[in-house]
Amino acid sequence: MAMYFQNEIVKEIIEKYRQIWSIGHALSLMGWDSETYMPKAGVEERAIARAELSLLAQQLILKPEFVQLVDKASGLEGLNDYEKGVVRVLQREIRIMKAIPPSLLAELEKTTQEAMHAWRMAKEANDYEKFKPYLDKIIKLTREKADYLGWKEHPYDALLDLYEEGLTTRDVDRILEPLAKELKALLSSVVYEGRFPQKHPLEDKQYERDWMERVNLEVLKIVGFPIGERSRLDVSAHPFTISIGLDDVRITTRYEGFDFKRSLLSTIHEFGHALYELQIDPGLKYTPLAEGASLGVHEGQSRFWENVIGRSREFIELIYPILRKNLPLVGRFTPEEVYLYFNTVRPSLIRTEADEVTYNLHIVLRARLEKLMIEGSVKAGDLPELWNSLMEELVGVKPKTYSEGVLQDIHWSMGSIGYFPTYTLGNIIAAQLRYHIERELKLSEKISRGEFEFIREWLKNKIHRYGKTYPPKELLRMVFGEEYSVELLVKYLKEKYVG
């Protein structure tokens, strides 16, 4: 750590920060346990313990002497990039925590807890009215939150920035609107040509859990996941990655018993997230920089491994012997047929099940609605109809129920407005990675030969090792010479799906 942090004030900040880091470490472990092994009855005590620890961390970061130390460091000249990074990350965190009054935070917390419950009930009963009053309240409170945080051009700016540092409504419009136009045209071409199937028989084939467990472990070994040493694989209802520390990064997957690519692609996706955390420079351990640059940059890593590598013809051919050995249902399908199975393209209603071509259209829909919600142009009561007409306009299908339409995602019930665009940023960054790695390393050849150490090393040197040192846009300019390139995502999808 010494070589990165020379300034005495910054060193003092990092020393004091260790307590805050330790609470985060404990919270991460508790969060992982809640989703994996905790008995159901433990929920209440766990919720209280996590809430108290979060409050303690907040108190520590807002301690006047800690805030003064960070302010003092921000006025210093001659800091290196790592020291500047520590100051930037902490100043941002302090600003956000100070901006929102505790009364608003408490009301949001209470409302979202109730709203998540109401959303589950509403989705199950296909009854939007059960959720509507909660969503109206969340929109109102979130707008208040945006005003407290401060914004220049649009209140949505303040919310986007919470999830992706420096992201603005102008950025989102500039990215999503041209992308929507390109993807609608591409979808029509892919469906018309019919080279990639809309349905594949392997989607309905059932598998035994132990077959799939062997597949996931063998594939993780090939890509270089250090299971047992610095990481582990478990099972949860919704796959996730959690970094408890730089030497303890855990992923989960799920086994649904059919359509085996879901389990495998989830595992590869989470590996992409985990690799990022595992390759952060050990010199940043215990500091505010010991995590990924942003949600978008993080999603870029997981989408790169899941889609660019995991769905590629070269990768399917490489792992085909593993699939054939462990999954009897693959036996009568050729590698080419399995490749087509991994790359079906169809207009569908559900975002989480969407393919590469249609996925971002689902994000365009949500971002458009969020913008209207936060500026006050629409109320919760207007959303189902707006959702359905936009779905038809963008993807060409129309929901018949609330559950497959406006009620399909949990995010709004959690108050996570401004989060969805980071998914598309991830897909864009994945395509940028493909282009730049291909140019320097001949990516396709490396995948064919299973030489993933070269790819891991490239990612480590260019992106991973820096952790949170640079804000996302600056990091992307350093690596790619540009920020978010819609053109490279469109180029990748066109080359793959229409040739």
167 within domain boundaries: yes
Q: Is residue 117 part of a domain?
A: no
Domain boundary among 57, 81, 99: 99
Same domain, 337 and 208: yes
What pLDDT, on the 0 to 100 scale, is given for residue 496?
A: 97
Residue 256 within a domain: yes
Is the CB of residue 263 less than 8 Å from the CB of residue 253? yes
Burial (CB < 10 A; 0-12, 13-18, 19+), residue 63, is: middle
- The answer to the question of whether 269 is labelled as a binding residue is yes
Q: Which of 270, 356, 370, 483 is catalytic?
A: 270
Closest to 301 (Cα-Cα) out of 285, 281, 283, 277: 277
What's the pLDDT at 434? 98
Angle, CA 252 vertex, CA 246 and CA 254 arms, to 5°: 170
Do 71 and 197 share a structural domain?
no
pLDDT tens-place values along the chain, 499 residues long: 668 999 999 999 999 999 999 999 999 999 999 999 999 899 889 989 998 999 899 999 999 999 999 999 999 999 999 999 999 999 999 999 999 998 998 899 899 989 999 999 999 999 999 999 999 999 999 999 999 999 999 999 999 999 999 999 999 999 999 999 999 999 999 999 999 999 999 999 999 999 999 999 999 999 999 999 999 999 998 999 999 999 999 999 999 999 999 999 999 999 999 999 999 999 999 999 999 999 999 999 999 999 999 999 999 999 999 999 999 999 999 999 999 999 999 999 999 999 999 999 999 999 999 999 999 999 999 999 999 999 999 999 999 999 999 999 999 999 999 999 999 999 999 999 999 999 999 999 999 999 999 999 999 999 999 999 999 999 999 999 999 999 999 999 999 999 8
Q: Please report, in angstroms and rounded to a whole number, the separation of the first and last CA atoms in the chain.
A: 49
**DSSP letter for each residue of 209-231:** HHHHHHHHHHHHHHHT--BTTTE
How many C-beta atoms lie closer than 10 Å to residue 235's C-beta? 15
Q: Torsion angle, CA of 310/316/322/327, rounded to 10 degrees?
A: 90
Q: Is residue 119 part of a domain?
A: no
| 191 and 73 fall within a common domain | no
**Residues 352 and 389 placed together within one structural domain of the fold:** yes
Residue 3 lies in a domain: no
273 assigned binding-site residue? yes
User: What is the torsion angle, in degrees rounded to the nearest 10, for the CA atoms of residue 426, residue 429, residue 431 and residue 432?
Assistant: 180
pLDDT at residue number 2: 62
Number of domains in the chain: 2
Residue 222 and residue 79 share a domain:
no
65/142 same-domain check: no
If asked whether residues 78 and 165 sit together in one domain, one would say: no
Distance of CA 280 to the CA centre of its chain: 18
Closest CA to 362 of 412, 424, 307: 424
The pTM for the full model equals 0.96
- What's the domain range around 15? 8-99
Closest CA to 96 of 154, 50, 163, 24: 163
Q: Are residues 348 and 226 in the same domain?
A: yes
Residue where a domain terminates, one of 58, 82, 99: 99
Q: In whole angstroms, give the CA distance from residue 363 to residue 307.
A: 17
The CA distance from 55 to 93, in Å, is 14
Say whether both 88 and 194 belong to one domain. Answer: no
Residue 371 and residue 285 share a domain? yes
Residue 201: which CATH number?
1.10.1370.30
Tell me how far apart the alpha carbons of residues 214 and 360 are, in angstroms, rounded to a whole number: 32
Specify whether 148 is located in the same domain as 203: yes
The span from the CA of 434 to the CA of 457, in Å, is 14
**Inside any domain, residue 193:** yes
Q: Which of 262, 348, 349 is nearest to 306 (CA)?
A: 262
**Do the beta carbons of residue 290 and residue 280 sit within 8 Å?**
yes
Residue 88 and residue 153 share a domain? no
Does residue 260 sit within a domain? Answer: yes
pLDDT at residue 308, rounded to an integer:
98
Q: What does the pLDDT read at residue 1?
A: 60
| 298 known ligand binder | no
Is 122 domain-assigned?
no
Neighbours of 98 (CB within 10 A): 12
Q: Of 99, 119, 141, which one is at a domain's C-terminal end?
A: 99
d(CA 288, CA 467): 9
> Minimal CA–CA distance to 267: which of 212, 200, 343, 190?
212
Q: Is 270 a catalytic residue?
A: yes
